[in-house]
Amino acid sequence: MSMRLGSRLRAALAAAEEDQIVLDLAGIEHQYEALARELPGARVRFAMKACPVDDVLACLAGRGAGFDAASPGEISQALGAGASVHDIHYGNTVKSDQNIVDAYRLGVRDFATDSVEDVMAIAAHAPGSRVFCRLATTGAGAVWGLSRKCGCSGEDAVRVLDTARLLGLTPSGLSVHVGSQQMTADAWQDAVDRLTEALVALRDRGIQVDHVNLGGGLPALGYLDRSGRPLDPPLDEIFATIRAGVARLRQVAGADLDIVLEPGRHLVADHGAIRAHVVRMTARRQLSGDREHWLYLSCGKFNGLYEVDQVQYRLLFPGHHDEEHVPAVVAGPTCDSDDTFGAARFPVPVPRSVASGDPVWIVSCGAYSTSYTTVGFNGFSPLPLNLLPGEHRAKAHA
Ligand SMILES: *Cc1c(COP(=O)(O)O)cnc(C)c1O
């Protein structure tokens, strides 16, 4: 079930005369509604870092979403976009004393944690708050594993939440993150197993949490793997596994256990696309003796496509339909060799006659494109944004 380019995005790309990132707000709204239908009753808190654009946040808040913020800066942005402070949690386990002070002043009372050190700081600077403890996962099956930096063992989680209680905080929940662009339902099954075990250990300790946060990791549909084949994540199977997992968690922790999700990528990736252009197509003999075609694009790793080491985006070349294609390595416009899609090992088919200036459409890059961009490495600015209106709260944009 790979994702095709939506008609609104296609029309905007066709009309674009300059490079830009196009985000389809109505598409993002529909994606949110579809997720809410798949997992009824779950509270969705958008992981802001995937697309920290005010209008995106406003349209999600308008549909009832909350926000997973990772810093006081993100908290302020979510508040500015109209979110209620009760629907924002501080989801980053990494925070300084000052970060906690600032979040508390902004009104946030809901904090992720994974260590006794962090819990002590929260108790000191955000007294009386609610804390949920993140369990470590292996990240297996995900395109980006995210293991080790955040999360602790089940045993540690008991210690951390016990400490929280002693210090006057409310031990309110457990969380996981199964890794970004998670491609297997097994990862959620494994997470539910770990959560179940930890819930039992907490109960034995007299700690009853009120929610479980199943994190992010839900995949986008439109990516290709590094060799250019569609990734095709088993989304239906993933949702079925999550629904069964929620039922199991409620058996252990009580039917009124709340479920929180923190999707980032899944809500926005397939509803954004980039209009770039061809800088040059070349054919050169490498030192190895191999002759290689290289396609240099106006947009690369430093101005919107940071994630090209791990995924390929579908490229469309309007006006070049039925002609011969040649395998070409695709790269961005800078002179940095890191700015090369798939680390140069995975050529993709490119129409032979593309010429400098021809438009190129890059599909499914609504996630982590506006946020992971340099201020202007090599003089290539971040791409301007073109927002297609949502169905509610549509705003005029210059
Ligand atoms: C980045 C992040 C997310 C979102 O991850 P996706 O893979 O984009 O869904 C959710 N929760 C936390 C704590 C994160 O750091």
Q: Which atom of ligand 1 is nearest to the CA of 182?
A: 7
HSE-CB of 263 using CA atoms within 13 angstroms: 25
Q: Are residues 344 and 217 in the same domain?
A: no
Q: Are residues 112 and 234 in the same domain?
A: yes
pLDDT at 147: 82
Which two three-digit tokens encode residue 63? 């549909």
Q: Which atom of ligand 1 is nearest to the CA of 134?
A: 13
Q: Are residues 192 and 317 in the same domain?
A: no
159 touches 152 (CB < 8 A): no
Ligand 1 centroid from CA 16, angstroms: 31
pLDDT at 4: 77
Looking at 147-151, 289-293, 341-345, 377-381, which range is the least confident one?
341-345
Domain boundary (236, 267, 298) is at 267
Q: By alpha-carbon position, which residue is closest to atom 13 of ligand 1?
A: 91
Domain boundary (267, 300, 330) is at 267
139 within ligand 1 shell (Cβ under 6 A): no
Q: By alpha-carbon position, which residue is closest to atom 10 of ligand 1?
A: 216
Domain boundary (267, 286, 315) is at 267
Q: Are residues 121 and 107 in the same domain?
A: yes
Q: How far apart are CA 338 and CA 109, in angstroms?
A: 41
Q: Are residues 164 and 208 in the same domain?
A: yes
Ligand 1 centroid from CA 47, angstroms: 5
Residue range 64-79: average pLDDT?
A: 98
Indicate whether 139 belongs to any domain. Answer: yes
Q: Are residues 348 and 230 in the same domain?
A: no
Q: What is the pTM of this model?
A: 0.96
* 345 band by pLDDT with thresholds 50, 70 and 90: confident
CATH number for 186: 3.20.20.10
Indicate whether 59 belongs to any domain. Answer: yes
* Position 396 pLDDT exceeds 50: no
Q: Are residues 42 and 181 in the same domain?
A: yes
* Position 363 pLDDT exceeds 50: yes
Looking at 214-228, 233-247, 354-368, which range is the least confident one?
214-228
Q: Are residues 127 and 275 in the same domain?
A: no
- 59 has catalytic annotation: no
Indicate whether 10 belongs to any domain. Answer: no
Indicate whether 355 belongs to any domain. Answer: yes
Pocket test for ligand 1, best of 262, 268, 271, 365 (most atoms within 8 A of CB): 262
Q: By alpha-carbon position, which residue is closest to atom 5 of ligand 1?
A: 216
- Look at 228 and 22; give whichever has higher pLDDT: 22
Q: Are residues 262 and 379 in the same domain?
A: no
Indicate whether 316 belongs to any domain. Answer: yes
Distance of CA 12 to the CA centre of its chain: 23
Q: What residues contact residue 193 under an 8 Å CB cut-off, 6+ apart? A: none
Q: Are residues 283 and 168 in the same domain?
A: no
Q: Are residues 198 and 319 in the same domain?
A: no
CATH number for 356: 2.40.37.10
Residue range 138-157: average pLDDT?
A: 94
pLDDT at 321: 83
194 within ligand 1 shell (Cβ under 6 A): no
Work out the percent of the chain whose per-residue pLDDT is above 90.
91
The residue count for the chain: 398
Indicate whether 344 belongs to any domain. Answer: yes
Indicate whether 394 belongs to any domain. Answer: no
- Beta strands per DSSP E along the chain: 20-24, 43-47, 66-69, 88-90, 110-113, 130-134, 142-144, 170-175, 180-182, 211-213, 258-261, 272-285, 291-297, 315-316, 325-331, 348-351, 359-363, 385-388
pLDDT at 398: 35
Residue range 94-100: average pLDDT?
A: 98
Catalytic residue among 59, 133, 299, 335: 335
- Look at 169 and 229; give whichever has higher pLDDT: 169
Residue range 269-282: average pLDDT?
A: 98
* Position 397 pLDDT exceeds 60: no
49 within ligand 1 shell (Cβ under 6 A): yes
Indicate whether 18 belongs to any domain. Answer: no
Average pLDDT, the chain: 95
Pocket test for ligand 1, best of 31, 43, 44, 49 (most atoms within 8 A of CB): 49
Q: Are residues 158 and 229 in the same domain?
A: yes
45 within ligand 1 shell (Cβ under 6 A): no
DSSP strand pairing (20-24 vs 325-331): unpaired
* Position 326 pLDDT exceeds 70: yes
pLDDT at 392: 66
pLDDT at 166: 98
* 3 band by pLDDT with thresholds 50, 70 and 90: low
130 within ligand 1 shell (Cβ under 6 A): no
Range of the domain at 339: 270-388
Structural domains counted in the chain? 2
Q: Nearest to residue 70, comparing CAs of 112, 126, 26?
A: 112
Q: Which atom of ligand 1 is nearest to the CA of 93?
A: 13
180 within ligand 1 shell (Cβ under 6 A): yes
- Give the position of tokens 């961009």: 373
